[in-house]
Amino acid sequence: MFYLIKKTIPSVALAFCVVSAAFVWPLLSLAEEAKVESKEEHSAEEGSAKKEKKRAPTKYVAPGTDPRGLVDLTICSQNLKLFGTYETVKSRAPNTTKGEHELKIEELAKRFLTARCDVIAMQEVMGEKEADAKAALDELAAQLRRVTNRIFISRVAPVAEGKMTLGYLIAQDRATVVSALSYAKIELPIIGEKERPRVFQRTPMELQLTVASRDGGEPRTISIVNFHFKSKRGGASDPTGLEFETYRMEMAEALRRIVESRHQQSFASGESILVVLGDRNGNFDVASARILEGSLVLANFRKDGGCRLTKRGVPLCKTGISLPQRLFSVFARNERSKQVPGTFSYQGEYSWLDDILMPAESLSYAWRSAFKEGVYESGVVYNPKGASDHALVYVRLNW
């Protein structure tokens, strides 16, 4: 049983008109038949002319150019590294100065500018209450307005463990918020028979947007799901000796099940776009990453499930265990990403903790161009270094 906290716009009921077909008596004279046919042809021509008037003019596309035109939306994800208002940060780190806090805001804004973000999903937003977390994001929005003259609005999830939550900044000139939804109080599936059910340590947050095309095309519905799995911090206390990888596996299974259930249309066609992003706190090859993408499921790691874990949390499975993948990283399969070491460095070793995933049906919107299938318009921003210990990741969508 779970509860969804949600703010939605009421759906608009569509009215359907049923037009009865006209028919002609079989005993009409030839002259009368000719009049009827002439009238029907004239009506058909009028109807066609009306449709032509409503149809948007065909846009000329120069040979070799991308017919999609300008990029329609850039979505970014950034772990903020314990970012809150100055008062919140100082309560956790008393030595923090006002100048250091203001510099962090400036450096985060520089990253957002470098990536040209329209929507920013953020992790590690700090606050005693939702209002405190929202005030922190509003400080970032104010800085972005100063340097870009763009207005960003903020949304945050309920504050969870460690007075930490997730949030969004959305540029009003690019997207309209339809709804915001927190996956609160959801019991996670368990990996062990005697294990007590747990919940998400930090509540994932879904945002649904409508976005108009920059070139006058049809607006699109885009759903973004922001997540932040448990870190390895304090891993010595994990009785499994896996630095909480089994907990992350349960979170990954729950999150994938939710998005598959809630966004069936996005897995069936490309009419609505789904983006799942955030901080996985595990590299792309560990079990939680494989479970989130759907090539493995939690049941594979139960007794007689066919898989076991290495000490690093990487799955070792029997032949034929893997399932058809459901979510695909726009980095793991991107040729340009092979030159990028990862998004987080610990003791000189990089890991790919931060990621952006989409169903196969949505992936074409992230192609670098209409002519380069499988090459994604995604990237990583590392500088300024003082903004966060995590890199920013982004993807650009076009239709």
Say if 54 falls within a structural domain: no
> How far apart (Å, rounded) are the C-alpha atoms in residues 184 and 160?
9
Integer CA distances (angstroms), 256 to 125, 274, 293, 316, in order: 23, 12, 7, 21
Boundaries of domain holding 248? 69-397
**Joined tokens for residue 375:** 């090459």
Average pLDDT over residues 173-193: 95
| Residue 11 vs residue 124, higher pLDDT | 124
| Those residues with Cβ within 8 angstroms of residue 121's Cβ, 6 or more apart along the chain or in another chain | 75, 76, 77, 78, 166, 167, 168, 207, 224, 226, 277, 278
Helix pair 130-148, 98-115: axis angle to 10 deg: 60
Say if 104 falls within a structural domain: yes
Give me the number of domains the chain comprises: 1
Check whether 191 has a pLDDT greater than 80: yes
Say if 61 falls within a structural domain: no
> How far apart (Å, rounded) are the C-alpha atoms in residues 191 and 197?
9
- The string of pLDDT tens digits covering residues 85-110 is 999 999 999 999 999 999 999 999 99
Half-sphere exposure of 252 (CA within 13 A, CB side): 30
Pseudo-torsion of CA 31, 36, 41, 44, nearest 10°?
180
Instruction: Note the pLDDT of residue 61.
Output: 57
Per this entry, what is the length of the chain? 399
What CATH number is attached to the domain comprising 252?
Answer: 3.60.10.10
Say if 62 falls within a structural domain: no
Instruction: Note the pLDDT of residue 197.
Output: 92
Q: Exposure string (b/e) for 153-182, b if CB count within 10 Å is 16 or more? A: ebbbbbbbeebbbbbbbbbeebbebeebbb
Mean residue pLDDT across the chain? 87
**Joined tokens for residue 107:** 């450096």
Highest mean pLDDT, choosing among 13-17, 18-22, 359-363, 372-376: 359-363
In order, the DSSP letters of 203-252 are: --EEEEEEE--TTS---EEEEEEEEE---STTGGG-TTSSTTHHHHHHHH
Query: Could you tell me the pTM of the whole model?
Result: 0.84
Report whether 377 contacts 396 (CB < 8 A).
yes
Q: Token pair 């993807």 is at which residue?
A: 395
| Residue 166 vs residue 372, higher pLDDT | 166
Say if 59 falls within a structural domain: no
Highest mean pLDDT, choosing among 14-28, 31-45, 266-280: 266-280
Instruction: Note the pLDDT of residue 57.
Output: 46
Strand partners, 140: none
Say if 308 falls within a structural domain: yes
Instruction: Note the pLDDT of residue 62.
Output: 65
- The string of pLDDT tens digits covering residues 245-268 is 999 999 999 999 999 999 999 999
| Residue 36 vs residue 288, higher pLDDT | 288
Say if 34 falls within a structural domain: no
Identify the band that residue 228 occupies on the pLDDT scale cut at 50, 70 and 90: very high
> How far apart (Å, rounded) are the C-alpha atoms in residues 393 and 66?
24
Say if 272 falls within a structural domain: yes
